[in-house]
Chains A and B, each alone.
Chain A
Amino acid sequence: MTAIGIAGVDRFTAKAGTRRQAHAPSLVATPGAAAGWLLLRRAIRLLSIGLYAGFFLLPIAFLVTLTFKTRDEVLLGQFLTSKPTLENWWRAFQFINLTGFIGHSLAIACASAAVTLIVTTPATYAVARLRHGEFVGSFALSSFIPPPVVALLPLFFLMRWLGLLNTFAGMIVVYAFMNAPVAYWLLRGFVKKIPAALDEAAWIDGAGFAKTFFVINLPLLAPGVVATGLICLILSYNEFLFASLFAQDDSVRGLTVAISLFQGDRFVNFGQMAVASIAGILPIYLIAFVFQNRLVGGLVAGSEK
């Protein structure tokens, strides 16, 4: 299951190999024209890949170079800098509580992802394997359709009533359930991949439903649970709309809201803005880099039947 990403690539590279062999006979038949055609096609392919890679890297790369530019050099609007400086970095960390904002975001994201998993993993198992409450699952999925702005005001009034505005607990609960439909959708794919015969064997041996779930299924589900948890973590870390209304106080404010507030601030220049952005993305990119196969596997699992 972890191997979905890797195995996928391997299978495709194997396919690409056979494809190349399939071209061989035509090469023999009309050597000049076909070889030229093949070269041209390969050139177009490489060019498109280059364009895509450039397109995806450019904004991030530009942000990185901005962090090393002085105020005057920023205004030139060029990519590279002739005299890089670290001033933006120490200024940004000195004047903006960056570590605090990133810390708040990470803490809320991790905790909410954990709650999402605790709530949805058994629920998904109940629907996909125990075959009860199918409509709860369908309802969870359909609750993903309306835009989150629908829940904005009702949750605001509810949280104010409960005294949960500007608290970690409030944000954790909101995000935990905001991501529950996504988690259900992803986990369903993983649960369905575990053979039902395993559960039946456990039941015949006298294990109860809880024991079967915890002892037999959960270890097998672990890679899927981890992938789902990571995706929920990233979704929470990136969220902005709810955070902008429910967590306005400095003591809980997360990174996305903090950055949005620098927008009109005359004291934060482009360079420092770039530093804050890069520092804020870094934890997520580290996760993406370390767990890339798992993340791809997780994303794909939900879409596969």
Chain B
Amino acid sequence: MGELFPALPRGVGGDGQRRAAWFMLLPLVVGLLVFAIYPSVYVLGLSFTKSTLGQPFKTWIGWSNYRWLAFGGDEIFIASLSRAALFSFGVALVELWLGLWLAVLLASLRRAGRLIRSVMLLPLMTPPVLVGVAWKLLLAPGGGLVNGKLLAWGFIGAPISFLGTQPWAIFSIMIADAWQWTPFVAILAYAALRQVPEDIVEAAKLDGATERAIFWKILLPLAAPSLLAIFVLRLIMAFKTFDLLYVLTFGGPGDATDMAGFAIWRTALRNFDVGTAAAQTVMFALFVSILILPFLWLHRRVEERAV
């Protein structure tokens, strides 16, 4: 650029540009230092100590917390890791499937499509705590609509405690989660399908391809990289689920719906064992990264091939 426009002022493409860019980046860099790097380092340090909320870094105990966690000291936490993984992959897959279907439906509608899009935004915008409240009231054994209707129609003789018995409890959380996030997936999937060049679809139509063939052989493969990205995004978000658990089951019945994020919160703020909670946090963060990185890598590969 320098040679093309020798008269460019104030160092475009050179030192001036670099200085301006870093000046604009500065607040974000400071923010990331405080809100991303400092917490990671702090938690890592904390995990080697015995700590309480009142007294962080009380005594240095080396690898004890990790040893205790890894060698069966806290079976509930280890189980909560795998439960979080199963839940996250489960809801991400179901939501991708339902959302894609909804996106295709939306695309085929005229005025009704606009109406349903307005309705769809509502779950997405609802605070997760209130999603929990709404589903809790809906599923309540006494006064809940689901039990009320099932009883009235004679499908069941006595109310079912959906949130207090397995496997209903975990399914209830998944349904509430799908209620909230399927619209989000649908909106993104809709945009992904729309990005497929129209002339390809038109050409296929001229060649007499059916709608089904166009979807499976053209739209889906061409939108695959974007759909994979949506899946990964939902996966990352699902691992963060906390509010729904807190309101709907509080990890119960027993520890049947206890997932890692919630288990850590309980260790730190109910048992006040901050050191152990920090070690759990480190394990959880590593666990999530190990599960998600392959998908990020796959996404990059697919995208490179698409280009």
Binding site for B on A (CB under 8 A): 8-9, 11-13, 15-16, 18-19, 22, 45-46, 48-49, 52-53, 55-60, 62-63, 66, 74-79, 118-120, 122-123, 125-127, 130-133, 136, 139-140, 143-158, 174, 176-178, 180, 184, 200, 203-204, 206, 208-210, 213, 234, 237-238, 240-241, 245, 255-256, 259-260, 263, 270, 273-274, 277, 280-281, 284-285, 287-289, 292, 295-296, 299-300, 303-304
A-B contact count (CB 8 A): 304
Listed by A's residue number, 29 A-B pairs whose Cβ atoms lie within 8 Å are A9-B114, A9-B117, A12-B106, A45-B108, A52-B120, A60-B134, A63-B133, A63-B134, A75-B143, A77-B142, A77-B147, A77-B151, A122-B24, A122-B27, A131-B21, A132-B18, A136-B32, A143-B32, A143-B35, A145-B236, A146-B288, A153-B42, A155-B35, A200-B12, A238-B125, A238-B128, A270-B140, A289-B118, A299-B188
* Nearest CB on B from A40, distance (A): 14
Q: Is the CB of B284 within 8 A of A256?
A: no
- Given A136-B28, A209-B10, the answer on whether A59 and B134 have CB atoms closer than 8 Å is yes
* Nearest CB on A from B19, distance (A): 9
Q: Is the CB of B285 within 8 A of A139?
A: no
Q: Is the CB of A149 within 8 A of B119?
A: no
Say yes or no: is B200 at the interface (Cβ < 8 Å to chain A).
no
Q: What are the residues of chain A within 8 A of B5 when measuring CB–CB?
A: 204
Q: Which residue of A lies closest to B134 (CB)?
A: A59
Say yes or no: is B222 at the interface (Cβ < 8 Å to chain A).
no
Q: Is the interface of B mostly helix, strand, loop or mixed?
A: helix
Say yes or no: is B100 at the interface (Cβ < 8 Å to chain A).
no
Q: Is the CB of B127 within 8 A of A59?
A: no
CA distance A294 to B5 in the complex (A): 38
Q: Is the CB of B12 within 8 A of A203?
A: yes
Q: What are the residues of chain A within 8 A of B40 when measuring CB–CB?
A: 146, 150
CA distance A63 to B179 in the complex (A): 15
From A52, A74, A132, contact of B116 by CB (8 A) = A52
Shortest Cβ-Cβ A-B pairs, 7 listed: A77-B148, A132-B21, A209-B20, A122-B24, A154-B42, A238-B127, A154-B39
Most buried by B among A46, A56, A118, A125: A56
Q: Which residue of A lies closest to B144 (CB)?
A: A77
Binding site for A on B (CB under 8 A): 5, 7-10, 12, 16-18, 20-22, 24-25, 27-29, 31-32, 34-36, 38-40, 42-43, 46, 53, 56, 101-102, 105-110, 112-131, 133-135, 137-138, 140, 142-145, 147-149, 151-152, 179, 183-184, 187-188, 190-192, 194-195, 198, 201, 205, 211, 226, 229-230, 236, 239-240, 242-243, 246-247, 260-261, 264-265, 268-269, 274, 277-278, 281, 284-285, 288-289, 292
From A15, A74, A130, contact of B24 by CB (8 A) = A130
* Nearest CB on B from A103, distance (A): 15
Q: What are the residues of chain B within 8 A of A280 when measuring CB–CB?
A: 127, 130
